[in-house]
Structure 1
Amino acid sequence: MTSRAIIPVKLSLTEGDFYTLWAPTWKEHGAEWQAFLGDDAGLFLFTSPAKMYAFLRSGKRHDLTSHPKWGAFDAQPADQIVPDKKESFDIIGAPAVLAGRPSYENVSTLGRVFQVSKSLAEVTGADDAVLFFASHSVLGNVQRGADHYAGEHGLGEWSAVGRAVLSNWDKVVASLDEQVRVIDVDDAATTEAQKLIDDARVRTAEARAAAEAAAKEAEEQADPYDSSVWGVAGIDPVKITLDGKSVYTLRTYVDGAPVFLGRHGEIFTFPTTRQLARWLVENDEHDMAGLATWETVMTHANAGELDVTVHPDNQYSFQGLVSDIGKGPDAVDTAQMGRGYELFADAADWAADDSLNSYLLANPRTQDYLSYMLGSTETAGYVPSKPYSDHANAWKELEEMLVKRFSKF
């Protein structure tokens, strides 16, 4: 019914509605226990949640203080002392529930009433109620839910439960009524307790509203890509635009190391995302085939449901960069250059060759220029000088090294 260890409950008996605390079955030292708020003399009932809270605040002795979860319960906000709808048990009204059909609501309601009534009877020693639950095995099936009564004999069994209740429920209720011991609390303490409950309700409502607003904002700001097959698999489609052409491939990182869709240093590239998706269905000889999440991608590809969407973070454009480098440092989009260099480095790392490092070692002026433009601290005192065309030509050569890795361009 609930995962809470101690539950505030509302019990409807002959004399009206009463409030108390219920500790459903728990295990301690190898034995099973259950309890209600009370002491050696019996059950404590209150006519309002405020009176119950005032009593608890008074520090008077009761048995639940020995419950292993009492400290956690006692530390809750004051409004947690008020039962919600599912913690309200109309014990005296059980026959009315059985007058209806075994719907989900009716069976669930009756199951909760039976559960708390049986527990109440066993804890307080209400003999007639204990005997009733022990003598009618048909009652136990109510806990199985509405599906139990959906079969061919379901209505008949539901009627059997009704007959048992109709014949005995007055005795059950009467035996539970005998256990009613209403604890009175003075008006001043009750008024103070009610104020604490009301204040806590306001704070709870404000916290809930703030949480809902934050969740809504997070949902609105969430990137749909994260929940796509690519986001789930951690493998990204990549778009590379260079010399007026665009090609598509895939890339991921394993333990920080780049892995491209390709093999033996060749990056498999495609002019359209549709061609890429079709190729995947028919080919599995590439470095990504052994990835743990590759099956996630292929499940969608084989079902014809693979939408190859390139996130803006994975779009690399080299357009106009060579020309801008030739104009001087101020004309260069350093973010565009940095992303381009990232792609150069990733491709070289994946191919496990030293072509990029070897080129830069052979061209120290280019290495200094890139370090300066990309914000490296290793070039203190260096400032690019004309002719900038040398840097433009060097960048062009790096682009050509990248294109040589493509299967198609």
Structure 2
Amino acid sequence: MARPSIVPIALTLDDRTGYTLWAPPWEEDGEEWQAFLGTTEGDTATVHLFPTPAKLAAFCRTSTDHDLSDHPVWPVVAGLGADELTPDDDHRYDLDGVYDIAAEDPDRWAVEELAATVDIVSRLAECLDTSDEDDDDEFEAVAELAGKPEIGSLGLGPEAFVGRSGEDAWIGVGTVLDDLWEDVVEELNEHFDWTGAGSATLAEYPSTSESDDDPAALDDDRADEAPAPVAGGATAASATSAGVRTIGRSGRVTASPADVAAAAEFWEAVGILPVEIVVPEGAGVTLRCYVEDVARFLGRDGEVFVFDTPAALSRFCSGSEPHDLTEIASWPEVADTDTPPLPAEQDRYDLTEVSEVLGEVADGAAGLVPHRALLQPVEGVRDLAEYAGLRRAEELLAPTAPLGRTVARADHEPDAALPAAEAAQLRPAWDEVVSQVSGALVFRD
């Protein structure tokens, strides 16, 4: 399970947009938890919503009476400003707009947006439901919606809505929404606190036709903000340098688990696997195989070719340019396939996130990150260093070097927490490793 994080989100309902926080599932003391910024009084749970990210930030700096106050990364979040608590596009959910989306053609964007909206609605209901097993389900409409096979088909991606049968399936999704969506939002709205725990009024919410998080609005709101202390004595500004992007990171290559699993059957059969690499200069996909246990990438002369999208990678593979995988016996199958090169989770290496994690730990989030966070990225780096002949990266990861010793401990004690002093020492070394890797990557069209 991913390390604990808190994500800013926006919910639009009844022509107003409210900002709040969501803590995706994390594990603590052997149990899985998930929560939103809110409170529970008696038998009623609520989610606090705010008219602007600045109002949300002000509440986070001053209040600890809510359901996220005990979250492992709350001390970091409490020091963030409006910029850092402004949701990205992947975490904005328009509950008013589902009918319009369902009326569109079922392209990738429509299907993914509708699936994401239904998913967040289900998560809200799960967290807000305080009823006992013997009580009536207070989110009956949400449960009925989530249980409909038509809604379940959204998780299969746009491919589920191709052809005549796909058109019928998309119509089925719209029919279910026509029947249940108004009841769904009514159930949820009873648990939405649009006063931000008493810190805002409905009059402060602009209509959705206005932009309440444009730069000018943020500048106005920031004038009322003062730097607040966070963990380790850092200010909100230093919290930003501590890797704020990990609080709301979105994926680079987007594909449903079903699509990845289906593609994996082909790639595993040919013994050449898609790989995603994320470095400060960008993110891209490539291919990797092993020849006598030595890593070999799609590239030439020690350079690794990476592509912005799986589709771009596929186009290159079907061409005739020479490279180091041409001589692999199964390459003709790769060149001829229409199976998209979708990397599995274990073949995705985000090297920038390690830098951010080390920065967060060094700046006060000690105890939150286990050594195991290094294992997968280092696996990718070692393969790249081996193929590209990156001697300096190999030296920094050697068992006698500080970074190498930490990685060795991760192998033996993966759950041991990274201490702040160690993280501060390791970050420059890791950044040098990433710089070495970045120099070996060639981004192709």
TM-score range, shorter chain: 0.3 to 0.5
**TM superposition score normalised by structure 2:** 0.43
Q: Which has the higher contact order (CA 8 A, sep 6+)?
A: 2
**TM superposition score normalised by structure 1:** 0.46
Larger Rg: 1
Of Structure 1 and Structure 2, the greater helix share is in 1
